[in-house]
Amino acid sequence: MLKQKLAKTEVLVALAIVGLAIIFSVINPVFLSVRNLFDLLRSSIVMGMFALGVLVVIVSGGIDVSFTAIAVFAMYVTVKLLKAIDFQGTLLVGFVIAALIGLALGLINALFIARFKLSTLIVTLGTQSLFRGFLLFVVGSQLIRDIPDSMTSFAKLNLITIQTADGTLASLPAAVLLLAAAALVTWLVLQYTLLGRGIYALGGSREAAERAGFPIRRIQLFIYSFVGVLSGIAGLTYGSLNRQANPFDIVGSELDVIAAVVLGGAQITGGRGSVVGTLLGVFLVVIMNNSLILAGIPSVWQKVVIGVIIIIGTGIPAFQQRRAERRARIALAE
């Protein structure tokens, strides 16, 4: 029954994407051009990586709003570090550094959530301020425009380059492979490992999971480290693709990511969610944001659209659940 319901949400989201694609391509045929599709994919990379981390948190029944702070912290510190030692090698080293920073910050979250058993929203609200405040006060608040060459060459690395009808080149950055890898890893962990089963169990019912023998603390340690690592890598990718390290960036987009994850079928109370759904949700949000501009709607309306999406995307399942509850209660009473 659960699998059926899951499949249902993802199908709905996929249908919504197709529907929107049809609408937008009618409004502005540019929508279906290769360049635009590549643009949409490019915009999905960073958000997608964030969303995968948030998915794991939400499936476990928690919520994390500090991942954007972790991302910008990791990005900025990595850039400063690489510049300080004038590192000329491959960006792989940069990604490892960013991942380690993200891991460390994620462990701080894990400490408060697993060890002290604090509410995840309030902890991550606190750590968001903690990390960002520390970054801006101690590390620095200067915009860095001349990022290391390794980052620039990574950003310019293209997976596919196609010559479009009007003679220009449309290219898909290789960074999309990072997203694919992250999605694969997340999917494997959630579907095929006991750890993944434990995450779903924790989200379903902490009591039941504990009694079934799942090591709750260790699972939570993994969850918040995982989202930390992903955020660190995503942050550095963001810096590369944007060709600058701005310590004031990224924070503020948490809601878009959470909206995407919830839209993709993940239940905020935990226990339900999938990688496919999340990726579809991200794509849907990206399409909405990017295509509003194509359709001629000013970007100031973006927030309104996202807000409506969150409300409808969470309202419908909640309402359905209430109706199901009421029916169950009535059935039991008879």
Partner 1 sequence: MTTKQTASTPERHDGRVAFLAAAAPRRLSSVDVTLRRLFIIAVAIFVAMSLAQPDVFPTLDNFRSMSVQFPELGILAIAIMLTMLTGGIDLSVTAIANLAGILAALVLTRLVSEDAATGQAVGGIVAALLVALGVGLLCGLLNGLLVGYVGITPILATLGTLTLYTGFSTVITGGTAVFAVPQFLFIGDGDVAGIPVPLLIFAVLAILFSIILNRTAFGLKVYLLGTNPTATRFSGISNETVLLRTYLLSGLLGAIAGIIFLARNNAAKPDYGSSYILQAVLIAILGGVNPMGGFGTISGLVLAVLSLQFLSTGLNMLLIQYSGSNFFKEFAWGALLLLVMVIDYFPKLRLTRGKVATPGAGVPAPDPALEEDPQRSAHPR
- Give the residues lining the site for partner 1 (CB under 8 A): 60-63, 112-114, 116-123, 125-134, 136-137, 141, 202-203, 205-207, 216, 220, 255, 258-259, 262, 268-270, 300-308, 310-311, 314-315, 318-319, 321-322, 325, 328-329, 332
Element (H, E) at 162: strand 158-163
Residues 17 and 280: beta-carbon distance below 8 Å? yes
Exposed, middle or buried by CB within 10 Å (0-12, 13-18, 19+), for 127? Answer: buried
Least separation, in Å, of the C-beta of 206 and partner 1?
A: 5
Least separation, in Å, of the C-beta of 147 and partner 1?
A: 22
Phi, psi of 77, rounded to the nearest 5 degrees: -65, -40
Least separation, in Å, of the C-beta of 71 and partner 1?
A: 16
Least separation, in Å, of the C-beta of 115 and partner 1?
A: 9
Measure the CA angle with vertex 42, ends 98 and 146; round to 5°. Answer: 50
- Beta bridge partners, 170, equal 162
Least separation, in Å, of the C-beta of 118 and partner 1?
A: 5
Residues 172 and 161: their CA atoms lie apart, in Å, by 7
Residues 131 and 69: beta-carbon distance below 8 Å? yes
In the complex with partner 1, the residue whose CB is nearer, 262 or 275, is 262
Q: Give the number of C-alpha atoms closer than 13 A to the C-alpha of residue 258, restricted to the C-beta side.
A: 19
In the complex with partner 1, the residue whose CB is nearer, 115 or 243, is 115
In the complex with partner 1, the residue whose CB is nearer, 196 or 203, is 203
Question: Hey, what are 223's tokens?
Answer: 């969850």
In the complex with partner 1, the residue whose CB is nearer, 116 or 145, is 116
Q: Which residue has the tokens 């694969």?
A: 184
In the complex with partner 1, the residue whose CB is nearer, 5 or 117, is 117
Least separation, in Å, of the C-beta of 319 and partner 1?
A: 5
Residues 280 and 264: their CA atoms lie apart, in Å, by 6
In the complex with partner 1, the residue whose CB is nearer, 141 or 191, is 141
In the complex with partner 1, the residue whose CB is nearer, 74 or 91, is 74
Residues 266 and 277: beta-carbon distance below 8 Å? yes
* 51 CB-near residues (< 8 Å, 6+ apart): 257, 260, 261, 264, 278, 279, 281, 282
Least separation, in Å, of the C-beta of 310 and partner 1?
A: 3
Phi, psi of 188, rounded to the nearest 5 degrees: -60, -45
